[in-house]
Structure 1
Amino acid sequence: MSNTHWDPARYGLFGNERLRPAIDLISRLPKPASGFSPRHIVDLGCGPGSVTAILADAYGSSDPDGPRITGVDSSDEMLETARKRGENITWQKADIADWQPDAPVDLLFSNAALHWVPDHSKLFPRLLEHLRPGGIIAIQVPNNFLAPSHQLIGEAGMDWRKEVATAMHAARIMRPGDYFDVLTPACDEVDLWQTQYCHVLTGPDAVYNWTSSTILRPVMDALPDDEARAKFTAKYKERLNQVYPSRDDGRTLFPFNRLFMIARKKSA
């Protein structure tokens, strides 16, 4: 995914609809009042930094004695936007696939990013190695790959079947039970849950605008030329608007599934 250019403005069009899963994940984390006071927090795949700022606020980063917080992303565009923020956060360019911290981490957080990184059966044990004993890993990944929004990409891209299939394969996750199996050897506590959000979108081609800022980006990059992209886009928009019709008030309801996990690493 490092060759795909990300547009922070387009990604941020949906505001609270995109932030809500991250806020829900943060709300489930233990806080300093309960005795969990992380000194080193890392947000993997931090994007434009909006979620990192919420995470920082939850753990008192404005306090001089607050935790050290690092946002990690591979996109220059996203990090440029993040660095314009005023919070006391360190922004680091790195690919999650081979990222390593300079010191063990107390809270390793990632919202809607790890599905772009391959081979989670190997990735997760490696990430857990970077956690201190008793540290927490907290992850949210989209789990909407079987929904029409994603399946219709293949239908619209039948003329470029190989290119589209390869691009779509870049984003994938395991089954919930597989994450339980990969986390439990190193963790005492594993909490897994799934949520379906009903996002309320506005404007024409609402679902297309959502997917075009995320899952559709590698697909568009993989298509051979502008003519192919235009033909694909027309077909995809048409089918999306049939499956996700705009209501009389101009709003579109977009069900979207997400998988969450929080696990605490075993104490030494």
Structure 2
Amino acid sequence: MSNTYWDPARYGLFGNERLRPAIDLIGRLPKAANGFSPRHIVDLGCGPGSVTAVLADAYCTQDANSPRIVGIDSSEQMLETARKRDEAIEWQQGDIATWQPDEPVDLLFSNAALHWVPDHSNLFPRLLEHVRPGGMIAIQVPNNFLAPSHQLIGEAGIEWRKEVDEAMHTARIMRPGDYFDVLSPSCDEIDLWQTQYCHVLTGPDAVYNWTSSTILRPVLAALPDDEARARFTTKYKERLNQVYPIRDDGRTLFPFNRLFMVACKRSN
């Protein structure tokens, strides 16, 4: 993931909307009642730690058998926020692209982070090498790249096409079938699904506020100067507000697609 500045406060403006897919993903995982009691859980791209805390609630007990839970993120700003959330969780700074655990992992979890890491056809097999046989991998990535919220970035940035294209290229995912092909050599019980959430946002420029905290960050950083960023932002907001109009009640509906995958690593 990028080591550039991440703003936990701005990212957290949509805390409930960003948390819900993670809750849905955790809800699909087996629990102790089904015979799955992971001893080592890792949350890759933990951000401010809100999702890691939900993982802890799902698998921690009141006795000494609670698992070791580790949150990994490249952003020190995000980790500063996470450390204030739960001191029982191990918070570590690291780059997902090169990350290696100090012991095999029983549950490797990642919510809305791996799309920032390139070359998933090689990344996923490498990550699976760190999962214990019989362990699980659970991942959610945004899949809204063909939606107007993302396509309009290229339209607004046509004057700086090269810079914008290169910046947008930093966040990519594969097709669902490609993930099945990558997981199937070493995994069973592969579960892939897509969900479209219809987020109800409030206030002016609501969709811009959403994208500016995530996908727009590398784009704005790639533009040559403040004047270019101002011109781009004006065009982009104008088109967004046409496609995602604010309603009479002050709310904006924002459909958003996400791709989920859960798989169990074979024991032999």
* Aligned match of 1:48: 48
* Aligned match of 1:198: 198
8 Å Cα contact 2:160-2:223 kept in structure 1: yes
C-alpha distance in structure 2 between counterparts of 1:107 and 1:24, whole Å: 16
8 Å Cα contact 2:42-2:70 kept in structure 1: yes
1:142-221 equivalence runs, <5 A: 142-221=142-221
C-alpha distance in structure 2 between counterparts of 1:62 and 1:44, whole Å: 25
C-alpha distance in structure 2 between counterparts of 1:41 and 1:63, whole Å: 17
Could you state the TM-score of these two structures normalised by the residue count of structure 2?
Answer: 0.98
Deviation by residue 1:61-118 (Cα, 9 ceiling, x = unmatched): 5543200000000001101111111351000100000000000000000000000000
Aligned-residue sequence identity (percent) comes to: 84
Deviation by residue 1:158-204 (Cα, 9 ceiling, x = unmatched): 11100000000000000000000000000011000000000010000
Q: Tell me the number of residue pairs that the alignment of Structure 1 and Structure 2 aligns.
A: 268
* Aligned match of 1:129: 129
Could you state the TM-score of these two structures normalised by the residue count of structure 1?
Answer: 0.98
8 Å Cα contact 1:180-1:190 kept in structure 2: yes
8 Å Cα contact 1:117-1:171 kept in structure 2: yes
* Aligned match of 2:24: 24
* Aligned match of 1:92: 92
* Aligned match of 2:227: 227
* Aligned match of 1:4: 4
C-alpha distance in structure 1 between counterparts of 2:2 and 2:155, whole Å: 26
- What one-letter code is carried by the residue in structure 2 that aligns with 1:139? I
SS at match of 1:38: coil
C-alpha distance in structure 2 between counterparts of 1:62 and 1:248, whole Å: 49
C-alpha distance in structure 2 between counterparts of 1:76 and 1:230, whole Å: 28
* Aligned match of 1:15: 15
SS at match of 2:234: helix
- What one-letter code is carried by the residue in structure 2 that aligns with 1:140? Q
* Aligned match of 1:250: 250
Aligned pair in 2 of structure 1 residues 63, 216: CA closer, same or farther (>3 Å)?
farther
C-alpha distance in structure 1 between counterparts of 2:135 and 2:193, whole Å: 20
Deviation by residue 1:103-136 (Cα, 9 ceiling, x = unmatched): 0000000000000000000000000000000000
8 Å Cα contact 1:61-1:68 kept in structure 2: no
8 Å Cα contact 1:41-1:106 kept in structure 2: yes
